[in-house]
Amino acid sequence: MTMSLSTVEDKTRATIGVRLFTVLAWVPERQALRRVHSSHPAEYPVGGEKTVEVAAGWLDRCITGQEPYFGPDSAAVREIFADHELIDRLGCGAVINVPVVDDGRTLGVLNILDAEGSYDDASVEAARSLAPLAVPALLELLETR
């Protein structure tokens, strides 16, 4: 039984807290990120895609470099996300993006957001430890598309 992305969300909420949680699957042939899970489906519907309107540095870091991105405050969120106004309206001003990696391949990203000041370096490490939990569900999704 594959752990569902809802369970990954619950574990994230219990471990470091989260206000907005989405999971994006990486679609390398289109250089796009497809939303496959959302705690806020009205604002962030599953199936929505982000082609790379996100900052190139973010892509290099998370997708290519397979390193987390940590934005501790609203300024960092504004710098990276085109939809920062909606993120702000949801009360989020801190973000942790953690790549989900399997066997050297980036499958997607966990997007973990909460109020400004909610996260620190320890939160990033905790989030990084949660990312592997999403591997089976993302592999399953990638196989079925």
Q: What is the pLDDT of residues 64-76, one digit of tens each?
A: 999 999 999 999 9
* Residue 144 within any structural domain of the chain: no
* Residue 52 within any structural domain of the chain: yes
Domain hosting 109: range is 5-138
Count of structural domains within the chain? 1
* Residue 143 within any structural domain of the chain: no
* Residue 92 within any structural domain of the chain: yes
Strand arrangement of the beta sheet that strand 32-38 belongs to: 49-51, 32-38, 20-27, 105-114, 94-102, 69-71
Name the packing angle between helices 121-130 and 5-15 (round to 10°): 150
Exposure string of 1-16, with b = 16+ CB inside 10 Å and e = fewer, is eeeebeebbeebeeeb
CATH number of the domain encompassing residue 86 = 3.30.450.40
What's this model's pTM, rounded to 2 decimal places? 0.93
- Predicted confidence pLDDT, tens digits, the chain (145 residues): 456 999 999 999 999 999 999 999 999 888 889 999 999 999 999 998 877 555 668 888 999 999 999 999 999 999 888 889 999 999 999 999 999 999 999 999 999 999 999 999 999 999 999 999 999 999 998 877 6
* Residue 145 within any structural domain of the chain: no
